[in-house]
Chains A and B, each alone.
Chain A
Amino acid sequence: MTSPEPMTRQELLELAALDALGLLDRYEAALYTRSFHHASAPVQDEIVRLQAEIASDETLLPVDEPDGSLRERVLRKVAEAIEAEASEFAPLATIGRRRRGSNESDGRSTFGTSGPFWRAAAFILAGTVVVLAYFWSDATKAHNELAMVALSSLTDGQLTQMIGPDITSFMFDDNVQRIVLKSTNPNASLEAVLFINPETGTAFLVTNNFPQSLEPTFSVNITTTGEQPEPLLAFMNISGLGGFRLDSLKYAANALTSATWTITEISSGTVLLTSI
């Protein structure tokens, strides 16, 4: 099974209003965003403009104005929330700040309560540029689907229900090293990042744009100096984005970070992505 084809320009325009108004479910919103990424720059500009028109269209809204005192109340509430977070997390030396209230759950789970999903929002560090550079080796990459899935999932608690604390523990640990795996086919859109904690011998793999499958189709492999590639994990992809934890990696710390990492298709042995 392969990932759905990206939407055409016409399809993107037809669903632009639904996407902008948050009326697509999480999976469809992710598909929409993925298609947006594949579209040409002029089409993307067209959609951005159209969605802004829709979002700001007052004809779809009632004519009501807030009470004058609301401003002060809102600003005070936000200031209190900022202060509360600052007090709680001040001792932590973090790459980015974790935010309260980001674990809302509404029970609308499309994918069930188990599986290798993780909360894309947890990836987003303070500063969009930092995030993009952090995740993908190509710092000029125009779009980051992780951020967009987060955008589409903000109040949808599905991912939150499925995710353990794993990814955040990797994200905020100064010992963790990031290895970006690059596609061996320049025309393919597969992406993967490994977060390796050499001290604990654990790793977390993030994949993007892998073809969907119903059984393990891909393998993560490690090749240390002078050794043959060793498969560590067989996985399948259910959605555009995937997250998988690797435990008990029985290698020395420096071997983990200096090894060659690959992702292969199990049936053919084809190397799809590599760290070199």
Chain B
Amino acid sequence: MSQQDWMLMHRVAAGDEAAVSELYDRFSSLVFRVARQLLPTQADAEDAVQEVFIRLWQTADRYDPRRAKLVTWVMLIARRHLIDRLRRSAVRGKTTSIEGDPASTSPNLGPEIRPQEAERNIRLLKRISELPKLQRTVIERAYLQGYTLREVSEQLEAPLGTVKSALSRGLARLRERAKAEWAV
């Protein structure tokens, strides 16, 4: 698979539109969902997805399958682009907030969301809200709002190492709880 993925990205780098299509078909769902997580509206997210796939084409020749699987690469490119976009638009902090009622502040609970999707989105935010306070705050600010860890460290007046540990443990805990829920 890694050799095939390298060949795919090599073709993408060369401007092979069939390769770009294949890349889109494999990863558009994930990219869109992370865009939706970070950006306030569906339209913003869709615009961002277009930008991400252009970025993926621009950087395709840098992909090294020995360092990361393609999904890691794609999502890293996507997240970094989205965070940059978020910073430029200065809407950080107005998107997902878990303070108060998650349902009332989530940007994902618009009329276009089906009931079962809304429920699962609420569940994610509820899981975050159940984390210890520091983990919850760090995840909200760094993972959901795009602040750097240094910025979060300064905001919270906490050592950078503490912030990193809280984020790492918080993410691990979210994943564990999600798996436990799905296993039921």
Do residues A73 and B64 form an inter-chain contact, with CB atoms below 8 A?
A: no
**Known interface pairs A20-B75, A126-B13, A155-B84. Does A59 touch B182 (Cβ–Cβ under 8 Å)?**
yes
Flag B147-173 by CB within 8 Å of A: 1 or 0 each.
011100000000000001101100110
Do residues B37 and A143 form an inter-chain contact, with CB atoms below 8 A?
A: no
Interchain CB contact (< 8 A) of B149 among A23, A60, A154: A23
**Known interface pairs A74-B53, A99-B58. Does A106 touch B84 (Cβ–Cβ under 8 Å)?**
yes
Do residues A22 and B64 form an inter-chain contact, with CB atoms below 8 A?
A: no
Cβ of A82 within 8 Å of any chain B Cβ, yes or no, is yes
**Known interface pairs A59-B179, A144-B64. Does A17 touch B168 (Cβ–Cβ under 8 Å)?**
yes
Flag A45-73 by CB within 8 Å of B: 1 or 0 each.
00011011011111111111111001101
**Known interface pairs A151-B67, A156-B80. Does A56 touch B75 (Cβ–Cβ under 8 Å)?**
yes
Do residues B62 and A15 form an inter-chain contact, with CB atoms below 8 A?
A: no
Do residues B68 and A61 form an inter-chain contact, with CB atoms below 8 A?
A: no
Flag A135-154 by CB within 8 Å of B: 1 or 0 each.
00000001110011011001
- Nearest chain A CB to B98's CB is how many angstroms away? 13
Cβ of A125 within 8 Å of any chain B Cβ, yes or no, is yes
Instruction: Give Cα A42 to B4, complex, Å.
Output: 21
Flag A92-118 by CB within 8 Å of B: 1 or 0 each.
000011011110101010000000000
Do residues A21 and B61 form an inter-chain contact, with CB atoms below 8 A?
A: no
Q: List A contacts of B13 (CB < 8 A).
A: 126-127
Do residues B164 and A128 form an inter-chain contact, with CB atoms below 8 A?
A: no
- Nearest chain A CB to B136's CB is how many angstroms away? 14
Interchain CB contact (< 8 A) of B148 among A57, A108, A125: A108
Interchain CB contact (< 8 A) of B178 among A22, A59, A97: A59
Which residues from 91 to 133 on chain B have a C-beta closer than 8 Å to any C-beta of chain A? 106, 108, 113, 116-117, 120-121, 124
Cβ of B174 within 8 Å of any chain A Cβ, yes or no, is yes
Do residues A121 and B34 form an inter-chain contact, with CB atoms below 8 A?
A: no
Cβ of A188 within 8 Å of any chain B Cβ, yes or no, is no
Cβ of A78 within 8 Å of any chain B Cβ, yes or no, is yes
Q: Which residue, A67, A75, A104, A154, has most C-beta atoms of chain B within 10 A?
A: A154
Cβ of A179 within 8 Å of any chain B Cβ, yes or no, is no
Q: Please, which residue of chain B has its CB at the minimum distance from the CB of A104? A: B84
Interchain CB contact (< 8 A) of A59 among B36, B37, B84, B174: B174
Q: List A contacts of B28 (CB < 8 A).
A: 66, 70-71, 74
Contact-size category for B: 35 or more
Do residues A70 and B46 form an inter-chain contact, with CB atoms below 8 A?
A: yes
Interchain CB contact (< 8 A) of A23 among B17, B58, B143: B143
Q: List B contacts of A99 (CB < 8 A).
A: 58-59
Instruction: Give Cα A58 to B49, complex, Å.
Output: 17
Cβ of A194 within 8 Å of any chain B Cβ, yes or no, is no
- Nearest chain A CB to B157's CB is how many angstroms away? 18
Do residues B20 and A78 form an inter-chain contact, with CB atoms below 8 A?
A: yes
Cβ of A31 within 8 Å of any chain B Cβ, yes or no, is no
- Nearest chain A CB to B12's CB is how many angstroms away? 9
- Nearest chain A CB to B28's CB is how many angstroms away? 6
Do residues B62 and A150 form an inter-chain contact, with CB atoms below 8 A?
A: yes
Do residues A62 and B108 form an inter-chain contact, with CB atoms below 8 A?
A: yes
Do residues B46 and A73 form an inter-chain contact, with CB atoms below 8 A?
A: yes
- Nearest chain B CB to A103's CB is how many angstroms away? 11
Cβ of A264 within 8 Å of any chain B Cβ, yes or no, is no
- Nearest chain A CB to B83's CB is how many angstroms away? 7
Do residues A51 and B108 form an inter-chain contact, with CB atoms below 8 A?
A: no
Instruction: Give Cα A97 to B133, complex, Å.
Output: 48
| Chain A interface (Cβ < 8 Å from any Cβ of B) | 14-15, 17-18, 20-25, 33, 36, 44, 48-49, 51-52, 54-67, 70-71, 73-75, 77-79, 81-82, 85-86, 96-97, 99-102, 104, 106, 108, 121, 124-128, 131, 142-144, 147-148, 150-151, 154-156
- 10 residue pairs of the A-B complex, CB under 8 angstroms, read A17-B172, A22-B76, A58-B30, A64-B32, A66-B28, A66-B32, A106-B84, A106-B87, A126-B10, A142-B66
11 further interface pairs, Cβ-Cβ under 8 Å (given A52-B72, A62-B124, A102-B58): A33-B67, A52-B68, A55-B75, A59-B182, A62-B36, A64-B45, A65-B33, A79-B20, A99-B58, A128-B64, A143-B66
Nearest first, the 7 closest Cβ-Cβ pairs linking A and B are: A59-B178, A155-B80, A52-B69, A55-B75, A61-B33, A63-B117, A66-B32
